[in-house]
Amino acid sequence: MEHSIDDLHFLGSGSAFNPEMDNTSAWFVRGDMFFLLDCGETVFGKIWNLPEFTFATSIAVILTHMHCDHVGSLGTLLSYCKLVLGKQVTVFYPSDNLEPYLRLVGIAPQFYSHVREVPPAWGIAISVHHVEHADDMDCFGYVIQLDDLSFYYSGDAADIPEAVLSQFLDGAIDIMFHDTGTNQSVFHCPLSRLARRIPPEYRGRVISMHVPSKEFVDTILDAGFKVVVV
């Protein structure tokens, strides 16, 4: 079965301090399973009544890291799924920091399943890459393979891991969704760095996300990159 990048639906494309564009997050379905990439403050309110979410047999959340604009409504999502939909969500996050956080927001371990490796039943492959973002937590970017479609989802990352860049330039990764900030950014990837790393002829396959403002979108497009459409 072939997959198109149109199968990936974004709920927002903004950075933490850009609420006008909502938290960056995306979802896709695989058979009767609903997959969510990150779950920031604005996310639950956008998916709770989606038919694809409501009627999915299984629900999985793939987390890149634990900042609020990426996990801010995760507790509500897990509670709603368990208590209202009668479904236990599986959370993929290859770190030990998930359970302590969820306990602090009142979510007991029996409300969810935490996995650090992809269950075979998911029918997808995820390659995990540590990324530069925050020193006080584990931050990851993921190469996700859906049959004939391979894409990289950076989460929040100040740079592109060398292995990911090599695969992208070689064509092994079809599309790169990357955090893109202003040239003053320290914890996010400055547009100038992204431009140095990605030659012009490859930029049509790089889609910027987690952008700092609507006004900055035109600057990204002028550099030859694309921007997430919600």
Q: Where are the alpha helices (DSSP H) in the chain?
A: 44-47, 51-54, 68-71, 74-80, 98-104, 162-170, 191-197, 215-222
Pairing of strands 149-153, 140-146: antiparallel
Q: Can you tell me whether residue 50 is helix, strand or coil?
A: coil
| DSSP code, position 206 | E
**Residue 136's domain is classified under what CATH number?**
3.60.15.10
Q: Can you tell me whether residue 37 is helix, strand or coil?
A: strand
Q: What range does the domain containing 136 cover?
A: 5-227
- What DSSP assignment string belongs to 103-134? HHTT--GGGEEEESS--GGG--EEEEEE-SS-
Q: Report pLDDT for 147.
A: 86
Count of domains for the chain: 1
Q: Report pLDDT for 209.
A: 98
Q: Report pLDDT for 1.
A: 52
Phi, psi of 165 (to 5 degrees): -60, -45
pLDDT tens for the chain, 230 residues long, are 556 678 899 999 999 999 999 999 999 999 999 999 999 999 999 999 999 999 999 999 999 999 999 999 999 999 999 999 999 999 999 999 999 999 999 999 999 999 999 999 999 999 999 999 999 999 999 999 998 899 999 999 999 999 999 999 999 999 999 999 999 999 999 999 999 999 999 999 999 999 999 999 999 999 999 999 99
